[in-house]
Amino acid sequence: MIKNYLLIAWRNLLKQKLFAAINIVGMAVAFCAALLLLLTAYREWSFDKMLPNRKQVHQLYFEEHWPGRTEENVSMPAPIAPALQQECPGVQYVTRYVGGNNLVQYKDQEYQYLMKYVDADFLRVFPYPLLKGSGADALRQTDQVVITEKIANNIFKGEDPIGKTIKIKQGDNWMPVAVAAIAKDIPDNSSIEFDLLLRFETQRDYAATKDSWGQSSYNVFVQLNPHTTATAFEQQSKTLVNKYYADKIRDLKRDGAVPDASGGLVLLKTIPLEDIRFNRITPLSDGASKFYPWLMVGLGLMITLVSSINFINLSIARSFTRSAEIGLRKALGAMRNQLIIQFWSEAFIVCGIALIFGVILAYFLIPSFNTLFSNNVSLGILKNVRLIVVLFLGFLGITLVAGGYPAWLVARFNIVQVLKGKINMGSQSNIRNGLIIVQFAVAILLISCTAIAWQQLNYMHTRSLGFDKQQVISIPVDSKTDGWKSLNLLRNRLASTPDVLSITASELNLGSGRDGHLGTSRVGFDYKGRAVKTHWLSVDYDYTKTLGLTLLGGRDFSRTYGNDSNAVVINEKMVAQLGEKEPIGIYLDLGDGEKVQIIGVIKDYNFESLHKNIEPLTINMQSKENGGYPHYIFVRVLPKNLAGAMHTVEKIWQEINPQSAFEGSFLDENADRQYRREARFSKIFVSGAILAIIISCMGLFAVTLLVLTQKRKEIGIRKVLGASVNGIVMLIAKDFIKLVAIAIFIAAPLAWFAMHQWLKGFAYRIDIQWWLFAITGLLAMLIAFVTISFQSVKAALANPVKSLHAE
Residue 303 CA to residue 33 CA, distance in Å, equals: 8
Residue 712 pLDDT > 70:
no
Residue 287 pLDDT > 70:
no
Residue 762 pLDDT > 70:
yes
In which band, very low, low, confident or very high, does the pLDDT at 798 lie, cut at 50, 70 and 90?
low
Domain boundary among 638, 662, 686: 662
Residue 524 CA to residue 423 CA, distance in Å, equals: 80
Give per-residue pLDDT as tens, 694-708.
877 777 776 676 666
Q: Which residue has the higher pLDDT, 242 or 695?
A: 242
Give per-residue pLDDT as tens, 489-507.
888 888 888 888 999 999 8
Residue 444 CA to residue 186 CA, distance in Å, equals: 42
Amino acid present at 334: A
Q: Which residue has the higher pLDDT, 18 or 636?
A: 636
In which band, very low, low, confident or very high, does the pLDDT at 56 lie, cut at 50, 70 and 90?
very high
Average pLDDT over residues 716-743: 76
Give per-residue pLDDT as tens, 639-657.
888 888 888 888 888 888 8
CA distances from 514 to 98, 113, 657 (A): 20, 16, 17
CB 265 within 8 A of CB 252: yes
In which band, very low, low, confident or very high, does the pLDDT at 509 lie, cut at 50, 70 and 90?
confident
pLDDT at 789: 76
Domain boundary among 602, 633, 662: 662
Domain boundary among 616, 645, 662: 662
pLDDT at 179: 92
Q: Look at residue 555 and tell me if it is in a domain.
A: yes
Residue 580 CA to residue 528 CA, distance in Å, equals: 11
pLDDT at 384: 73
Average pLDDT over residues 153-167: 89
pLDDT at 182: 93
Average pLDDT over residues 231-253: 90
Give per-residue pLDDT as tens, 194-216.
999 999 999 888 888 888 887 77
Average pLDDT over residues 445-466: 83
Residue among 312, 297, 286, 287 nearest 688 (CA): 297
Residue among 157, 162, 158 nearest 183 (CA): 162
Average pLDDT over residues 452-460: 83
Residue 588 CA to residue 462 CA, distance in Å, equals: 36
Q: Look at residue 226 and tell me if it is in a domain.
A: yes
Average pLDDT over residues 587-605: 88
In this predicted structure, which of 179-183, 513-517, 619-623, 776-780 has the lowest mean pLDDT? 513-517
Residue 764 pLDDT > 60:
yes
Q: Look at residue 694 and tell me if it is in a domain.
A: no
pLDDT at 454: 82
**How many domains does the chain fold into?**
2
CB 97 within 8 A of CB 90: no
**pLDDT, the chain, mean:** 81
Residue among 270, 305, 285, 255 nearest 91 (CA): 270
pLDDT at 217: 81
Give per-residue pLDDT as tens, 336-386.
666 666 667 777 777 788 888 888 998 888 888 888 777 778 777 677 777
Q: Look at residue 258 and tell me if it is in a domain.
A: yes
Residue among 31, 555, 676 nearest 311 (CA): 31
Alpha-helical segments (H) within 332-425: 336-372, 385-399, 405-411, 415-420
pLDDT at 8: 55
Percent of the chain with pLDDT over 90: 21
Q: Look at residue 566 and tell me if it is in a domain.
A: yes
Give per-residue pLDDT as tens, 552-591.
999 999 888 777 788 999 999 999 999 888 999 999 988 7
Q: Look at residue 678 and tell me if it is in a domain.
A: no
In which band, very low, low, confident or very high, does the pLDDT at 322 lie, cut at 50, 70 and 90?
low
pLDDT at 15: 62
What is the domain extent for residue 503?
479-662
Alpha-helical segments (H) within 662-724: 667-673, 676-710, 712-720
Residue 775, H or E segment: helix 770-797
In which band, very low, low, confident or very high, does the pLDDT at 92 lie, cut at 50, 70 and 90?
very high
Strand partners, 173: 170
Give the torsion sign (CA, 15, 21, 23, 27).
positive
Residue 324 pLDDT > 60:
no
pLDDT at 760: 80
Q: What is the DSSP letter of 404?
A: I
Residue 334 pLDDT > 70:
no
pLDDT at 12: 60
Q: Look at residue 123 and tell me if it is in a domain.
A: yes
Residue 238 CA to residue 90 CA, distance in Å, equals: 13
Give the torsion sign (CA, 263, 265, 268, 270).
positive
Average pLDDT over residues 601-628: 84
Residue among 452, 458, 429 nearest 747 (CA): 452
Percent of the chain with pLDDT over 70: 84
Q: Look at residue 770 and tell me if it is in a domain.
A: no
CA distances from 796 to 86, 501, 652, 724, 726 (A): 87, 70, 72, 8, 8
In which band, very low, low, confident or very high, does the pLDDT at 329 lie, cut at 50, 70 and 90?
low
pLDDT at 429: 65
Amino acid present at 171: G
In this predicted structure, which of 153-162, 764-773, 787-796 has the lowest mean pLDDT? 787-796
Measured in whole angstroms, the distance separating CA 180 from the mean position of its chain's CA atoms is 37
Side-chain-side CA neighbours of residue 804 (13 Å): 10
Give per-residue pLDDT as tens, 133-154.
877 788 888 899 999 999 999 9
